[in-house]
């Protein structure tokens, strides 16, 4: 992995994560609440949320469009797994806090995560 010069201005953090052991992963209202609460914890402003349910016993995919970028989620209730993507710009952004809220609300464990620093262009 290339290292950024100390002077490189970072404008955002892009965190991707896999969660395991979650519950309520087919519950549209819970997933929406988790996205909205994650945005608040990450110090971002929600512009809108769009969710799609894949049918009884299946998961949810969705996105929270933020003034500062986005949070997306895909759930698999049949295995208890969730994939999360938080991309938030701005000096106050706290993607880790947003991820912690999603994991907590879904009763999940963070199996792995990776953060990419996005550079000012």
pLDDT at 11: 87
**What's the whole-model pTM score?**
0.91
Residue positions annotated with a catalytic role: 69, 74, 89
Answer whether residue 1 shows pLDDT above 50.
no
Cα–Cα distance measured from residue 42 to residue 88, given in angstroms and rounded to the nearest whole number: 8
Closest Cα partner for 26 from 50, 48, 54? 54
Q: What is the CATH number of domain 10-119?
A: 3.60.90.10
Task: Using the predicted structure, report yes or no on whether residue 98 has a pLDDT greater than 50.
Answer: yes
Spatial separation of the C-alpha atoms in residues 93 and 37, rounded to whole Å: 14
Q: Which has more pLDDT, 2 or 101?
A: 101
CA 33 to chain centre: 12
The answer to whether the CB of 3 falls within 8 A of the CB of 86 is no
Q: What is the pLDDT of residues 45-88, one digit of tens each?
A: 999 999 999 999 999 999 999 999 999 999 999 999 999 999 99
């Amino acid at each position: 992995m290339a290292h950024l010069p100390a002077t490189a201005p970072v404008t955002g953090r892009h965190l991707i994560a896999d969660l395991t052991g979650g519950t309520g992963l087919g519950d549209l209202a819970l997933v929406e609440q988790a996205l909205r609460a994650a945005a608040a914890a990450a110090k971002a402003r929600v512009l809108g949320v769009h969710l799609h349910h894949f049918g009884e016993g299946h998961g949810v995919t969705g996105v929270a469009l933020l003034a500062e970028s986005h949070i997306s989620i895909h759930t698999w209730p049949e295995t208890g797994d969730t994939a999360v993507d938080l991309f938030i710009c701005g000096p106050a952004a706290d993607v880790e806090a947003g991820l912690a809220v999603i994991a907590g609300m879904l009763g999940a464990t963070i199996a792995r995560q990776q953060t990419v620093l996005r550079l000012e262009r």
